[in-house]
């Protein structure tokens, strides 16, 4: 695999370093890479140095990682070395690329093995990062793997280029659009979503502030989650909790949706949610219905109530795998838990459908029409 970055990778890295992560001269930047991410990792290191920062590239070898798994040493994989802890403590900025590359094999390990891997570092990592004010980004380009491309039936080159193009979107412009929507949502009661595909759904807001995710890390902002010191790159969406007592109508998806967990990333397409008297009364999917039904059957109370609404803000995204809900003007409607974002629904279930090109009205006033934020 070539480690020489393409011109698009260099442009995306420059945008991320300067406009999203705001790396300053003299700052220390830790970049964590895998084999399939080396070209983009190289571009990030180069751009950090270009602005006067100091970059340290930490490389995780796929073969060595899998050999440890085969020896049933997932837990030791989560024990970071003392030099790595020292590097994290000294870093101002942290850039993480997802890995390893064989995502299908990773999913087959099961939750118990993956939990054993993360238990050794997760809590300590975030505690240290919060104490130092570390800011960082999780790189979605790490998702582009041969096994994922085969699983989702997409073009590897087009998917990668779409992610890189999305990194060129202006985060400040997305922040302005998001703040404008957030102001409109403040004090509003009802949201109506309509589309020519048969969607006509009215839901109610929970009365808590919306969160805008424009790609910036938010290390010490009380309005965000404690884990939002890491931004997702690329990004661009607004999310708000819903009042689960009100929901009437139906929403028909025209974009894929996914489980909001690390692994496995079950995918759903052609989804329809029907609501009556505040409850989800029926659901159907062209793809993934059996998996959704299995998860839904195990879900705790609250799974049949609306949980959250998100609106996409990124103008450079269009139907890009796993980022469909970031496409400007798209809407994602989720049922189930929302307690983590200020709502009152503690359910352990979360399921969603995603729709692009709809009209969204707040108390009768349009705020989104045909993908355009008004």
Model pLDDT, residue 55: 98
Residue 38 within any structural domain of the chain: yes
Residue 332 within any structural domain of the chain: yes
- Under 8 Å between Cβ of 327 and 144: no
- Under 8 Å between Cβ of 283 and 273: yes
Task: Give the CATH number for residue 141.
Answer: 3.40.1830.10
- Examine the pLDDT at 156 and tell me if it is beyond 70: yes
Q: 3-state class of 194 per DSSP?
A: strand
- Examine the pLDDT at 112 and tell me if it is beyond 90: no
Of the listed ranges 50-54, 245-249, 265-269, the least confidently predicted one is 265-269
Residues 247 and 125 in one domain: no
Domain termination site, one of 166, 185, 209: 166
Residue 147, phi-psi category: left (phi > 0), alpha (psi -120 to 50), beta (remainder): alpha
**Overall average pLDDT of the 106-112 stretch:** 80
- Examine the pLDDT at 264 and tell me if it is beyond 80: no
Residues 178 and 162 in one domain: no
- Examine the pLDDT at 260 and tell me if it is beyond 80: no
Residues 14 and 118 in one domain: yes
Model pLDDT, residue 151: 83
Could you give the CA distance from residue 374 to residue 182 in angstroms, rounded to a whole number? Answer: 13
Residues 184 and 40 in one domain: no
Residues 122 and 221 in one domain: no
Domain termination site, one of 166, 185, 205: 166
| Token pair listed for 171 | 């985060």
Residue 284 within any structural domain of the chain: yes
| Token pair listed for 23 | 């790396």
**Overall average pLDDT of the 147-174 stretch:** 95
Model pLDDT, residue 373: 93
194-217 pLDDT per residue, tens:
999 999 999 999 999 999 999 999
- Examine the pLDDT at 88 and tell me if it is beyond 80: yes
Residues 136 and 211 in one domain: no
DSSP symbols for 14-64: HHIIIIIS-PPTT-EEEEEEEGGGHHHHHHHHHHHHHTT-EEEEEEE-HHH
Dihedrals phi, psi of 35, to nearest 5 degrees: -55, -45
Residue 77 within any structural domain of the chain: yes
Residue 2 within any structural domain of the chain: no
Q: Per the omega criterion (within 30 degrees of 0), is the bond before 100 cis?
A: yes
Q: 3-state class of 335 per DSSP?
A: strand
Percent of the chain topping pLDDT 70: 98
- Examine the pLDDT at 262 and tell me if it is beyond 60: no
Alpha helices (runs of H) in 91-199, residue ranges in sequence order: 103-107, 111-119, 122-132, 146-152, 156-166, 171-185
The pLDDT-based confidence of 41 (bands split at 50, 70, 90) is very high
Model pLDDT, residue 266: 83
Q: Which runs of E-coded beta strand occur in the chain?
A: 28-34, 54-60, 93-97, 135-139, 190-194, 200-205, 211-213, 230-233, 237-252, 257-258, 267-268, 272-276, 279-284, 306-312, 331-336, 350-355, 359-362, 365-369, 372-373
Q: The domain containing residue 185 runs over which residues?
A: 171-373
- Examine the pLDDT at 263 and tell me if it is beyond 70: no
Residues 177 and 229 in one domain: yes
Residues 179 and 157 in one domain: no
Model pLDDT, residue 159: 96
Model pLDDT, residue 2: 58
Q: 3-state class of 100 per DSSP?
A: coil
Residue 1 within any structural domain of the chain: no
306-331 pLDDT per residue, tens:
999 999 999 999 999 999 999 999 99
Model pLDDT, residue 110: 76
**What distances in angstroms separate CA 74 from CA 63, 115, 372, one per listed residue?**
14, 9, 46
- Examine the pLDDT at 276 and tell me if it is beyond 60: yes
Average pLDDT, the chain: 94
**Overall average pLDDT of the 100-111 stretch:** 85
- Under 8 Å between Cβ of 173 and 244: no
| Token pair listed for 94 | 């942290």
**Overall average pLDDT of the 153-162 stretch:** 95
- Under 8 Å between Cβ of 252 and 199: yes
The pLDDT-based confidence of 223 (bands split at 50, 70, 90) is confident
| Token pair listed for 284 | 């159907």
Overall domain count for the chain: 2
Residues 118 and 96 in one domain: yes
pTM reported for the whole predicted model: 0.94
DSSP 8-state code for residue 299: P
The pLDDT-based confidence of 226 (bands split at 50, 70, 90) is confident
**What distances in angstroms separate CA 207 from CA 51, 187, 272, 341, one per listed residue?**
42, 7, 26, 12
Maximum Cα interatomic distance, the chain, rounded to a whole number of Å = 60
Residues 175 and 288 in one domain: yes
174: number of Cβ within 10 Å: 28
4-29 pLDDT per residue, tens:
999 999 999 999 999 999 999 999 99
Residues 75 and 221 in one domain: no
The pLDDT-based confidence of 76 (bands split at 50, 70, 90) is confident
Q: Which neighbouring-strand residues pair with 368?
A: 360, 373
**Overall average pLDDT of the 57-65 stretch:** 95
- Examine the pLDDT at 1 and tell me if it is beyond 70: no
Residue 26 within any structural domain of the chain: yes
Closest CA to 200 of 333, 310, 289: 333
| Mean pLDDT comparison of 75-89, 99-113, 276-290, highest-scoring range | 276-290
**Overall average pLDDT of the 285-292 stretch:** 96
Domain termination site, one of 146, 166, 186: 166
Residues 238 and 314 in one domain: yes
Could you give the CA distance from residue 82 to residue 92 in angstroms, rounded to a whole number? Answer: 18
Residue 97 within any structural domain of the chain: yes
């Amino acid at each position: 695999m070539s480690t020489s970055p393409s011109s698009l990778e260099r442009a995306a890295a420059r945008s991320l370093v300067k406009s999203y992560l705001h790396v300053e001269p003299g700052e220390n930047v830790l970049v964590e890479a895998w084999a399939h991410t080396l070209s983009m990792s190289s571009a990030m290191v180069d751009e950090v140095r270009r602005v006067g920062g100091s970059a340290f590239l930490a490389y995780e070898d796929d073969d060595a990682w899998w050999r440890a798994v085969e020896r049933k040493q997932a837990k030791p994989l989560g024990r970071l070395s003392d030099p790595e802890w020292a590097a994290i403590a000294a870093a101002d900025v942290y850039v993480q690329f997802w890995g390893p590359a064989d995502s299908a094999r990773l999913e087959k390990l099961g939750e118990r093995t993956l939990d054993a891997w993360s238990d050794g570092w997760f809590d300590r990592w975030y505690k240290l990062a919060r104490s130092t004010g570390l800011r960082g980004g999780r790189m979605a380009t790490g998702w582009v793997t041969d096994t994922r491309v085969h699983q989702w039936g997409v073009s590897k080159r087009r998917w990668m280029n779409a992610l890189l193009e999305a990194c060129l979107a202006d985060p400040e412009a997305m922040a302005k659009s998001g703040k404008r929507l957030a102001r409109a949502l403040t004090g509003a009661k009802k949201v109506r979503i309509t589309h020519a595909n048969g969607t006509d759904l009215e839901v109610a807001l929970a009365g808590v502030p919306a969160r805008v995710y424009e790609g910036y890390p938010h290390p010490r902002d009380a309005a965000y989650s404690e884990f939002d010191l890491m931004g997702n790159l690329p990004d661009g969406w607004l999310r708000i909790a819903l009042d689960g007592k009100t929901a009437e109508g139906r929403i028909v998806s025209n974009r894929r949706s996914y489980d909001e967990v690390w692994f496995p990333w079950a995918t759903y397409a052609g989804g329809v949610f029907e609501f009556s008297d505040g409850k989800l009364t029926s659901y159907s999917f062209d793809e993934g219905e059996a998996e959704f039904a299995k998860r839904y059957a195990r879900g705790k109370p609250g799974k049949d109530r609306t949980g959250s609404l998100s609106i996409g803000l990124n103008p450079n995204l269009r139907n890009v795998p796993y980022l469909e809900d970031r496409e400007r003007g798209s809407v994602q409607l989720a049922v189930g838990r929302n307690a983590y974002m200020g709502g009152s629904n503690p359910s352990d279930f979360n399921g969603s459908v995603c729709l692009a090109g709809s009209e969204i009205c707040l108390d009768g006033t349009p705020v989104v029409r045909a993908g355009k934020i008004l």
